[in-house]
Amino acid sequence: MKYLTLLRRYLPTRKEIEQMRYLHIFGDRLKQHELWHFTRQSTAKGAGIGLFCAFLPMPFEMVAAIFLASLMRANLPLAVGAVWISNPLTWIPLYTPPYLLGAKILGVAPVKLSEIGVLELGWHYTALWLGCLIFGICLGLAAHFTISLLWSGQIRQRWRHRIATRTAKKLHQKKVSAEN
């Protein structure tokens, strides 16, 4: 799988993650064997968890992703890597649609950033959180199911290719034996 080798090049290794000081709160949880392998289920779970945590409007989303990945036995490097889509350069385009959705659900009129006051901050922060939770859950589930479908589709394609190769080989053997 070409994408996995490319992905592994950019994701942090087990040793790199274990050396992060603030992760010692997890103890031996990070040493679980399942957290470091790219299987269909763990990869799909890791991507879903990472996207969900990327939409959490809080600092240290990586810690939340590590906790959820170790709890659900998902691929830890992929969960941590997917969180990185949320960074100071992407906050405005990433959080604006969830904020607008949350504001619409709560019935709060969206306010320009320059006009927001301390009293209004509570409602707008609640709207941001509500919208981000909805977006995070939807995108996390979509990523999980998309990866699962693509992975199983690739497996079916490989099986079809193997069957076609075996059939062609048998036909070639019959043709050679018939000529003799």
User: In the chain, where are the structural domains located?
Assistant: 2-107+116-179
The pLDDT value recorded for residue 146 is 94
Do the Cβ atoms of 17 and 77 come closer than 8 Å?
yes
The pLDDT value recorded for residue 25 is 65
Instruction: Please report which helix (H) or strand (E) contains residue 102, including its range.
Output: helix 91-106
Per-residue model confidence as pLDDT tens digits over 51-78: 999 999 888 888 899 889 988 889 888 8
Q: How would you classify residue 108: left for phi > 0, otherwise alpha for psi between -120 and 50, otherwise beta?
A: beta
How far is residue 69 from each of residues 32, 64, 65, measured CA to CA in Å?
11, 8, 6
Per-residue model confidence as pLDDT tens digits over 1-51: 566 677 677 766 767 766 776 666 666 666 666 777 778 888 999 999 999
The pLDDT value recorded for residue 123 is 72
Mean pLDDT of the chain: 83
In the Cβ-directed half-sphere of 136, how many Cα atoms lie within 13 Å?
24
Q: In 3D, which of 100, 103, 56, 116 has the Cα closest to residue 82?
A: 56
